[in-house]
Structure 1
Amino acid sequence: MRLSQQETVDVLVIGSGMGGATFAAGLAPAGAKILILERGERLTDSDAARDARAIFQRGVFRPQESWIDGAGQAFNPGNYYYVGGNTKLYGAVLIRYRAEDFAPVAHRGGTTPGWPFAYDELEPWYTRAEQLYKVRGALGADRTEPHHSAPYPFPPVPDEPAIAAVRQRLTKVGLNPFSLPLGIDIDTWLKRAKTPWDAFPDIGHGKMDAESCGIACALAYDNVELRTGAQVERLITGSDGKRIAGVEVVHGGEPSVIGAKIVVLAAGAVNSAALLLRSSERGLANRSDAVGRHFMNHNASAVLAIDPRVVNDSIYQKTIGINDFYLDDGRGGPPLGNIQLLGRVTAPILKSSMRLAPEWALGFMSRHAVDWYAMSEDLPNPDSRVTVDGPRVRLDWKRSNWATHLALVAALKERLRAAGYPIVLARAFDRRTPSHQCGTVRIGRDGATSPLDPFCRAHDHENLFVVDASFLPTSAAVNPSLTIAAQALRVADHVAKTDLRAHEA
């Protein structure tokens, strides 16, 4: 069935997560007609939004979707389809990649390829992204912090008394804890309910996410429209195959074609790759055969430090980061990664992964535990990839650099025991927990090896851009949200100066 084109816009953005929302916010002042398509709907407030059992045990916000892994086994992915994408439930850590991450880095498991430009190129947009997302933070305590051209817009989220004591214990054993840069208005968040924000959905109560900041900023302009419940089925090329003419979309059960002068794909590292692969026999933007390849997902573990003598009565907890092992292993060896507090892990949350244990026993454990997140870099591997079989996604993630992660967890355990925690437990996150998926449509200078150029434009299609985590050529070992936002703003400025002016001319 051939569908007729029903409307045309200047810029079509597919996806309203961190990349798509921030790009739209950056481009909106240029005056182009921008249409944002989101397959999900806006989250609405409910009792479940602050109910740990509903979120973690019953999975009420998880998608009704099944992917298959490399062995052909089905699993339920932890990706979210709402306005704002995965940021609706993210931990709101808005930290910059370190300057060293933009160059090749030698790890135990291999050397990263580096970026096609240096940190200084992206720095001005990092500053703009921090302003857009109202980041709370403080400079000076983190020895790995790269150059900032401006301070954080707001002071850091304060430690609760129990966490201030943890910070002191860590300092006494030679660590250098710093205040995590966070996108959270803690007073507004706690007015709704006294819960953590990490992995809890934001329903407009103080979390700075892609909807509350990026989409809100974009929709302040009359030339921007957000259309929810719009499922994009494929991208359509023009007769010459060099330009994307539009997209086939199903909205309200009705299929149609939307034409666009510029198409910006931002559906997430897995779904953007899958959409490109479904759109033609060999996949669009795929002269390099790299679309879907080089999938990365941080190696990550939860580490619980338990001291039966001390009560942790914190509510949100997540205010401390540690980068002592980020640039090296603490002894001059290869880097290990980043450490940060998790949001407070209560008994109902523990129960979701320890179902045979009675909740009262888990409550005792939680009351005396401090919960950490250890994160190490996953290296790009062409055989770690997304492929499609009709409508179904196959995600064959091949972990890399695992010895580095085990060393990071061991180093953290050693320091926590030295700080007086006699019991330290660790558990790795599995495939059901997306730990910063990225890398499937990466940027690079050579179209033979990378689908996108350094401004996220497809080498093969001059009016196609990809601005979500797909473009990241390396995963680094920090949360990627701010880097995605900074690059999205950089690309928006580039599009406004080049593509939109060319159309006007």
Structure 2
Amino acid sequence: MAGEPDVVIIGSGMGGSTLASGIAASGANILILEAGERLEDRPENRDQRAIFQRGHFRPKETWYEKGGQGFNPGNYYNVGGNTKFYGAVLVRYRREDFEEMQHLHGVSPAWPFPYEELEPWYSQAEQFFQVRGALGQDPTEPFHSKPYAFPPVPDEPAIAKVRKRLQENGMHTYSLPLGVDIDKWLAKGNTPWDAHPNSFDGKMDAETISLTNALQHPNVRLKTGARVTRLETAEDGKTIAAVHYTSFGEAKVIRPKLVVLSAGAVQSAVLLLRSASEANPRGLANRSDQVGRNFMNHNSSAVLAISPSYRNDSIYQKSFGFNDFYLSDGEGGPPLGNVQLLGRVSGAILKANMPAYPEWLLNRISAHAIDFYAMSEDLPSPESRITVEGERIVLQWVRTNWQAHLDLVSKLKRVLKKSGFPIVLSRPFDKRTPSHQCGTVRIGNDPSSAPLDVYCRAFDHPNLFVVDASYLPTSAAVNPALSIAAQALRVADHMSQADLKR
């Protein structure tokens, strides 16, 4: 391990840690730089007032809208990245998501390769993350070359009743593919896992699975508290020659052979833009002027269905979804999106968004409610982008396809009312909630329109890869974590064959 590392991976989230695991057996000297620290096992991890009302885990950071208004983003900086808090839904994009798809207000472009190219890596990722699921329930489900290794997380009795009602009303409900050991999670405390931090409590996240596996190899190291500030190229402006970072206030420089940027869809774009130089005046990997552009964040809403006659005594709730409006609106019209259960929403969680109401009253409402998450595709747009203004991160999110999302919520409300819930309320998520941010350094076949090739290598810099949600050319309308992991494994295999051979 003496000397400079062969590979530096910037970020320990789903992309970075999974890629590290994939190349660990190569014997290369691998250093993972993580800006944050490991999450401690503390009472706040299961304290919903601390998480949702006091924002205990939210970053002490301000981003800015175009025009100057600041806001506190919901992104996390810690070992494992945002997966420490994710809902652990590890679902594949539909086969059709890899093809050009006409939406109500635009076109979702085709990927540079078909579903079949990523399918073996989806299967490998599902086995790696110990996904619990069941095949054959969802008509939109694409081909799987391997079955899930574990049966699905079971519906709790109150949830099974609603699932049955929805099926009786024509919905094709399916068990969500989940990376959760439910017995282990509940042994620690009776809470949902969605949006709750995981300290090796049973959630299969980037730290507990990928990073733990990678660090079993003596050639892999993790350095926390290491915030990368810029990448420096050689005189040719092509080769990444140095990685500059700070560690406990001290400036440091390392000179690896390969650099993998996995800081997340916003921070990866920011680092490339901040690394502008005389040779690369618009930032690194930015010959196409697409770095930071095509930012996507799912159009999402929480939908609460309430009935005085329904009693919800579930703990985790999040066990099924349905895609009846995914490929069309159910009547031959354009696609609308995915519906899945949220983690159980308690009165303490509701109060974070309804502070004027007493928590006891919100608990009574929660006891008669079931909570859904409606998610629609945000289409890529060059005007939806991340920029930097000095030290400021500026987010200009131009929502697309919003009417389709409103139509999805309207369809869901009708279905729920027909299923015995006379009161159905909805609330959209805004920019403060990172609803699967992606797309800012996308892959493609043409360097004039995409920064990365199909293996996430920068067209402009042969020893630079970007492996995180940035690479996604479309957002689809499902959770992207498994697609990030699958591509990371695919890229790792390619790197092992093409770049790490000794």
**2:336 matched to 1:340?**
no
- How far, CA to CA, are the matches of 2:54 and 2:160 in structure 1? 33
TM-score normalised to structure 1 length: 0.98
- How far, CA to CA, are the matches of 2:231 and 2:4 in structure 1? 14
| Contact 1:7 1:257 survives alignment (8 Å) | no
- How far, CA to CA, are the matches of 2:210 and 2:392 in structure 1? 30
Query: Equivalent residues in 2 for 1:415-430 (5 A)?
Result: 415-430=415-430
Residue identity in the other structure for 1:167 = R
TM-score normalised to structure 2 length: 0.98
- How far, CA to CA, are the matches of 2:224 and 2:62 in structure 1? 22
Deviation at 1:357, TM superposition (A): 1.2
1:105-132 CA distances to partner (integer Å, 9 max, x unpaired)? 1000100111000000000100111111
The match for 1:184 among 180, 188, 195 is 180
| Contact 1:7 1:259 survives alignment (8 Å) | no
**2:248 matched to 1:252?**
yes
Q: For residue 319 of structure 2, what is the aligned residue in structure 1?
A: 319
Deviation at 1:279, TM superposition (A): 0.3
- How far, CA to CA, are the matches of 1:196 and 1:30 in structure 2? 38
Q: For residue 402 of structure 1, what is the aligned residue in structure 2?
A: 402
- How far, CA to CA, are the matches of 2:67 and 2:317 in structure 1? 38
- How far, CA to CA, are the matches of 1:12 and 1:445 in structure 2? 25
Deviation at 1:252, TM superposition (A): 2.2
**2:451 matched to 1:455?**
no
Q: For residue 301 of structure 2, what is the aligned residue in structure 1?
A: 301
- How far, CA to CA, are the matches of 1:45 and 1:406 in structure 2? 39
- How far, CA to CA, are the matches of 2:155 and 2:67 in structure 1? 44
- How far, CA to CA, are the matches of 2:341 and 2:448 in structure 1? 41
Residue identity in the other structure for 1:324 = D
| Contact 1:108 1:334 survives alignment (8 Å) | yes
| Contact 1:7 1:258 survives alignment (8 Å) | no
The match for 2:91 among 74, 90, 95 is 95
**2:52 matched to 1:56?**
yes
| Contact 1:48 1:54 survives alignment (8 Å) | yes
**2:119 matched to 1:123?**
yes
- How far, CA to CA, are the matches of 1:329 and 1:136 in structure 2? 28
CA RMSD of aligned residues (A): 0.8
Q: For residue 356 of structure 1, what is the aligned residue in structure 2?
A: 356
Unaligned runs of at least 5 residues, structure 1? 1-5
- How far, CA to CA, are the matches of 1:213 and 1:70 in structure 2? 38
The match for 1:264 among 260, 263, 282 is 260
Residue identity in the other structure for 1:331 = E
Residue identity in the other structure for 1:294 = N
Deviation at 1:256, TM superposition (A): 1.2
Query: Equivalent residues in 2 for 1:168-207 (5 A)?
Result: 168-207=164-203
The match for 1:164 among 156, 160, 167 is 160
- How far, CA to CA, are the matches of 1:251 and 1:385 in structure 2? 29
Q: For residue 292 of structure 2, what is the aligned residue in structure 1?
A: 292
Q: For residue 143 of structure 1, what is the aligned residue in structure 2?
A: 139
Deviation at 1:7, TM superposition (A): 5.0
- How far, CA to CA, are the matches of 1:7 and 1:481 in structure 2? 34
1:126-175 CA distances to partner (integer Å, 9 max, x unpaired)? 01111111100000000011000000111100010001111101011110
Residue identity in the other structure for 2:316 = Y
| Contact 1:453 1:459 survives alignment (8 Å) | yes
1:410-441 CA distances to partner (integer Å, 9 max, x unpaired)? 00001001101000000100111110000000
1:73-114 CA distances to partner (integer Å, 9 max, x unpaired)? 100000000100000000000000000000111000100111
Residue identity in the other structure for 1:148 = H
Residue identity in the other structure for 1:226 = L
Q: For residue 374 of structure 1, what is the aligned residue in structure 2?
A: 374
Return 198-207 or 242-251, whichever deviates more: 242-251
Residue identity in the other structure for 2:133 = G
Q: For residue 3 of structure 1, what is the aligned residue in structure 2?
A: none
Deviation at 1:70, TM superposition (A): 2.0
Residue identity in the other structure for 1:304 = L
**2:481 matched to 1:481?**
yes
Q: State the percentage of identical aligned residues.
A: 65
- How far, CA to CA, are the matches of 1:447 and 1:229 in structure 2? 34
- How far, CA to CA, are the matches of 1:310 and 1:102 in structure 2? 40
Deviation at 1:330, TM superposition (A): 0.3
- How far, CA to CA, are the matches of 1:421 and 1:380 in structure 2? 35
- How far, CA to CA, are the matches of 1:358 and 1:71 in structure 2? 36
Residue identity in the other structure for 2:194 = D
SS in 1 for 2:500: helix
- Runs (4+) of structure 1 exceeding 2 A deviation are none
Residue identity in the other structure for 1:494 = H
- How far, CA to CA, are the matches of 2:174 and 2:380 in structure 1? 29
Return 124-133 or 473-482, whichever deviates more: 124-133
| Contact 1:246 1:257 survives alignment (8 Å) | yes
- How far, CA to CA, are the matches of 2:39 and 2:414 in structure 1? 42
Deviation at 1:475, TM superposition (A): 0.1
- How far, CA to CA, are the matches of 2:427 and 2:12 in structure 1? 32
- How far, CA to CA, are the matches of 1:389 and 1:421 in structure 2? 48
- How far, CA to CA, are the matches of 1:61 and 1:129 in structure 2? 28
Residue identity in the other structure for 1:441 = V
- How far, CA to CA, are the matches of 1:109 and 1:459 in structure 2? 31
- How far, CA to CA, are the matches of 1:8 and 1:393 in structure 2? 31
SS in 2 for 1:340: strand
The match for 2:29 among 21, 26, 33 is 33
SS in 2 for 1:9: coil
- How far, CA to CA, are the matches of 1:494 and 1:399 in structure 2? 35
SS in 1 for 2:5: strand
- How far, CA to CA, are the matches of 1:221 and 1:332 in structure 2? 52
Deviation at 1:359, TM superposition (A): 1.1
**2:225 matched to 1:229?**
yes
Query: Equivalent residues in 2 for 1:64-79 (5 A)?
Result: 64-79=60-75
Deviation at 1:360, TM superposition (A): 1.5
